[in-house]
Structures are given as structure tokens and as C-alpha cells.
Chains A and B, each alone.
Chain A
Amino acid sequence: MKACVCFLLMCVLAAQAEESPKILTLSKVMNELKKIQQGLTNSNKTWFNSPATNDLKDCCVASALECFRSKVLHLSVSDEKLKKSQRSVHHELRKSFIVDSVSCTPQETQKAQCKSCEAYTMVNSRTFVDNFKTLLQKRSMPVKRRDLKSL
């Protein structure tokens, strides 16, 4: 009985929540990335493939996000707590409502001809984290379904 009441209460609270789980998760990941960026070491010595967020097709966002997620564990940080933040980011971005939020069909994705991670430009770790944050900021905005011709 108590479990049912608690469950119903959580459902009500979740329904009344102003922000969606996607926005809350992205905000949490953003905070973790800020901490990681402040604790970066050897910024100019380590380089990573980074998608250019300013020239990214909508249907390629998912692949770009996966590229960032896969490299975040390789960032060099000074503190053990920041390593925990890296793992948190790596885990949170696996969630389905993050990955599947871009409404592109497989055909659209194939037509977009998204680059692989290794095809993107190499940048230093600080620029890598900046581009990662920009992509997350872009993902936190509402997406407008545009004309297929624009892809």
C-alpha cells in the first residue's frame, strides 16, 4: 500500500516537473563537463577528433554525440573526483531519450552521409570540451522538423 502511494506520488511529481528528463540530464552532463574542463591537464598536448558543431547536419547529431561520448574517458584530468565525472558523462549520454531524440529516419540519416569520428578535425582537449558543450547546448534547444531538402 505504501509503495503504491509512493509510486503515485512520484508519478504526480514527475508530471508536474517543468523540465523534461532530457533537459535535466543534459543540464547534469553540462555541469559535469564544466568541472572536467576546469581540471584538465596537458590541454595542448592531447588531441582528439572533434565534430564541428557549427557545420553539423541535424541527422548527424546522434553520431557526433557518440563520438564525443567515446572520447570523454580519454581526457586527462588532475583529480580522482573528475574521473568519476567522466564516467558519469559517459553513462548518462547512453540513455535512449538522449540518443533517439533526433527524429531522423534511417533513410534520412543515410542520405545525410554523416562523417565518422576519425574523419573530424583534430583539436586540443580544451577545444574538444568546448565543442562538446556547444553540442549539448544545441541539443537542449527544441528541434524544429525542417524540410528534407535542407539535409
Chain B
Amino acid sequence: MAPHDLRRPFKRPAISDQQRRRELSLQRQSQNRRDAQQQARCLASSVLSLQSQYPDPVPELEIEPESQPQQEAGPLTKDLDIRQASKLRGPEVRKWFASQLMLPEWMIDVPDRLSHDWYVFARPAGKRCMVVSSNGTTVSRERNGSILHHFPSALPSGARTKDPSGSAQSYCILDCIFHELDQTYYVIDMVCWRGYSLYDCTAEFRFFWLNSKLAETGACDAPSHYHKFRFSTVPVYDCDQRGLYSAYIESVPYAKDGLLFYNKHAHYQTGNTPLALVWKDEKCSQYVIDTDSKGQVLSQQQIIGAKPELRQLVVLELQEDGKLSTSDDPPVIFGCLDGEFIQKSGLQSGSLLKFAIGNGGLSFVDGKLEKSDLNYLGKSNRARMFADSYSKTDFGFMSPAEMLRESICPCELYVSICLDKVIFQYMVRHTPLKFDDLLASVSPSDDEENKPCDVEMVD
């Protein structure tokens, strides 16, 4: 027995922090492991820390010199992961958020098994935005990444209250449409809830989770001091005849802007996806056809000899070889400019150019664009665009009318440069897909066909 071996450290604590360094290393490593696994499970919470600490320097866009090469504006690709995104600052944050929403394609034809595999709901008119609650505050960001509201909410970690459940991990991300009239956020999808990612969950599960979780937080209650805006879910129907009819006809507390169709099995995929579709007609949307600032329809009929801004417009990117492409991936080539013209106009590759679809229109063979008749209108007005907050292919329509419209339905604005929007707008002007066609496609007789389900899950 050697008691003094035990006792000695009293007067002479050897300040050995080697063990401490080991332990701190182990702590760091197991924390990193937890984070990595957690991140595999869900979004890293760190991304959320960037929302409040860097208040948006309101439009710094104008000061961006136009000559700055666009490439510099973004090492940002759609592959950028959350970990990297969490390191972004200021304008880059906006850029990142701008690419995080799932964007429906325009419904050009009716998908198979619509009544089995799809949901339908009436899309609220308003600003599409991503609402993030964390660390005691809530921020909504518009489609382009800029902040719409910064407010306290009853969402988990959405306000600085003594809510015991509000741990740092407990952030939420909701896909919403802000409806000006009743100042309500209509939640159309749930991306993250209490720190857990629903990205890889089916729409079926996400909607189930949304409907069971949102109300219990009190987020659907009337506004109060710690809850500035009301949140609300929207009625979602199975896309059978009854559901489709309900979504189309039944009154809702909000102004409708078309119908949204979500494939039940689809995961939340950022960017455009054919597993979410939007459809409109005059009855369920006031915005069915692109209008100008006075609400005048830009129609084919008026194109002949009409003022340029009344024609269907399309913004295309000039490629190095003179080709004009959309922002689709892979890009769809709409046409080609000859080298001489490019030189004369002083255009550079990567420039965004505005065109009107001419009398020749668009013609398709086997669903592929074969020919388009484009009239060059000029360069897009970059000073009025979020030049530094979009990667170069992400520019939208740039007619003045569109700029006004942007604040009303930014979603369509964004989609507009994609092929399906161009085609939808073209079809609306020529052979619109009517509600009756939709109804017919989900008629019971169609149900009996029992087409095999071959919807591939999207990752």
C-alpha cells in the first residue's frame, strides 16, 4: 500500500493537460462524428446560423459593375452541399437559398396514374418562399434568396421564448407561399422539422408530417407578440375526380393561383422536377397567361405588328458557339445567332438575351423542339436583375411587365426560362390543356386501366 501515491497531487498537481488534450480531441471527434451522421440524416443546423447573423445589405446589386465576369459570381453550383453552404456569407447565402426550393414544371400533358400517384391542391397566390426557424428567430426568404420577413414565430426555435423544446438543433425549414391579403404563410411543403430532414421522404410522408406537426406548435394560431404571422396548411386532395374537382372549385381562404400536383412518392428535390407540376386556367388563376404591367395578355394574336412587350418573351443564354439555350439541364437549344451579328451587337457568351417568339412559333417533333422563330429584342437589363445572386443560367424574364409580376408570383418567373414554361405559355395560346381534359384523365374508367406503377423514386 502506498497511500501517498494517491495523496500527493494535493500540493503538487502536476499541470499535465496531455490527458485533457486527448479528451478534448475525443470530444471533438465524437462531436464531428455525430454531426456527420446527423448531416447524413438531415440538414446540418449550421446552415441556419447564417440567416440572422448577416443581415442583408439591401440591394447591393446595383453597385455590382456590369463588366465583372459572371463566373466569379458563383463557384456556386447546384451540387454545393449544405456543409459548404453553411460557410457562405452575405449575397452567397441568398444564392444558395435561391436554389433550395423544389420547383414544379408546367403540366404540358397529363401524367400516367394521375389519380393513383398524385396529390392536388390549389396553389395560394403570393410569394413563394422558404421559411427557416432557428435559434429563436424566423426568417423567410424569397425565391431569389433575399429576405422577405425576419420575425418571431411559434415554430420550433422560431422565437426567443423560454420554450423548453427550443434546443439549438431544433430548426425548421418550410416551403411556403406568403399570401399578402391575409398576411398568412401557407405551408405547401415541409423540408425540415425540428432538425430532421424530410428531403428524402416521400411527399406522402411530408404532407402527413406537416399536417400532424404544424398545428401542435401553435403556428396556426392568430398572430401575437411572439408570433407575428399566422401559418396555415392548405387542403391537399388525392388526385381522383373528386379531389381534383374540390381543389379546382372549392373556396379556400386564399386567392388561388392554379393547381399544384405532387407525386406522392417523390422526395423533396431542389430545382425543377417533373414530379411536381403546375397547371392553370383562367378560372383558378388570374395569372394564367403572362401579362404586361396593365394586365394585358401577351398573346400570339397581338404579336403580329404589336408592341414588342406584348409578345411571348423568352430569355436565353448566348453560348460560345452562338447557340441560344435555356436554363434547363441539359440546356435546350432554341436557336443560333450568327457570328457577325454577335460581334456587331457586342454580345459576349454568357449574355442573357431577350427574344419574342415570332410568327413561326415553336414546332415540336416527338416532343422535341425542332424549330423556333425568335425575334431578338435586346440584352436583358442586368442592372435590374439579381446579377450577383443567381448563377448565370438562372435569369428570368426581363420585360418590365415581368419585373412587376415578379413580386406577385416569383415562382413562375423563375420557371419561365425553362422549356416547359415556354411550351406551356405557347400551348395556352394555341391548344390549352383544359380542366375537362384533366378530369377526363382521372375518370373511373381510366382507373380501371390499372397501369403498372413505374414511377421511379427520385433521389
A binds B: no
